[in-house]
Amino acid sequence: MAVLTGAGISAESGVPTFRGPGGLWKDYKPEDLATPEAFARDPQLVWEWYNWRRETIHKAKPNSGHAALVRLEIQKPHFTLITQNVDGLHDMAGSGRMLKLHGDIWRMRCTVCGSNWPDRRATLPKLPPHCGCGGLARPGVVWFGEPLPEGMMQEAEHATLEAQVLLVVGTSAQVYPAASLIPLAKQAGARVIQVNLEPTPYSEIVDCALEGAAGEILPRLVE
């Protein structure tokens, strides 16, 4: 079994999603800030957005949806959690077998020497942060136009092709290549179950589209 999660699974923990209500920060859309071009133009602005998000995520705790996926991992011999989320709430809930397609907001990376390191402070005291080598640091996440961490999409595709069921939770399924796992699973003959508050571009092709909150539906599904 494979599970693909998106920002919607963390919404009930108080983490704003990207698209829809609460997705904007100071009138900027994520597409305006989550790009290498935006960072090159104005690293201070992009870091202010990340600092605001770090504060919000730092206060958040995993919810019953995250917990249900931990139980599922214990129940199923073959299980892979594929997440687009960078918030670390799956880790905090106790998920172990996990692919983080879009990186981790709690890691930093140097734009000069390439070294990377963890930093879990809710707010960074000085923006923009720098590496020991003096180079500008960036969040350890994947922005639009950047490749996913090496080999990770292949691992996600492999897990999807092996799975008899793909459970898709809380993603608008608009960002690629992550969203491509949904038609891939269908083509490979897997059953696809979607859990979302609203329809997505794939609602028509999935086997079962459950409309509702992940924190309510997932615990019932796992029972």
Residue 2, beta-bridge partner list: 80, 166
Q: By CB neighbour count within 10 A (0-12 exposed, 13-18 middle, 19+ buried), where does 66 fall?
A: buried
* Phi-psi domain of 220 (left: phi exceeds 0; alpha: psi -120 through 50; beta: other): alpha
158 tagged catalytic: no
**Window 140 to 199, contacts with ligand BJW (CB under 6 A):** 141-147, 170-172, 174-177, 195-198
CB 150 within 8 A of CB 142: no
Residue 133 contact, options Zn ion, ligand BJW, none, Cβ 5-8 Å cut-off depending on partner type: Zn ion
Q: Which residue is nearest to ligand BJW (CB)?
A: 8
Choose the binding region for ligand BJW from 19-27, 71-79, 119-127, 158-166 (rule: CB under 6 A). 19-27
CB 110 within 8 A of CB 131: yes
- When asked if residue 12 is in the footprint of ligand BJW (CB under 6 A), the reply is yes
* Phi-psi domain of 191 (left: phi exceeds 0; alpha: psi -120 through 50; beta: other): beta
Residue 131 contact, options ligand BJW, Zn ion, none, Cβ 5-8 Å cut-off depending on partner type: Zn ion
- When asked if residue 102 is in the footprint of ligand BJW (CB under 6 A), the reply is yes
Q: Which residues bind ligand BJW (CB under 6 A)?
A: 6-8, 11-12, 17-20, 23, 30, 34, 84, 86, 102, 141-147, 170-172, 174-177, 195-198, 200, 213-214
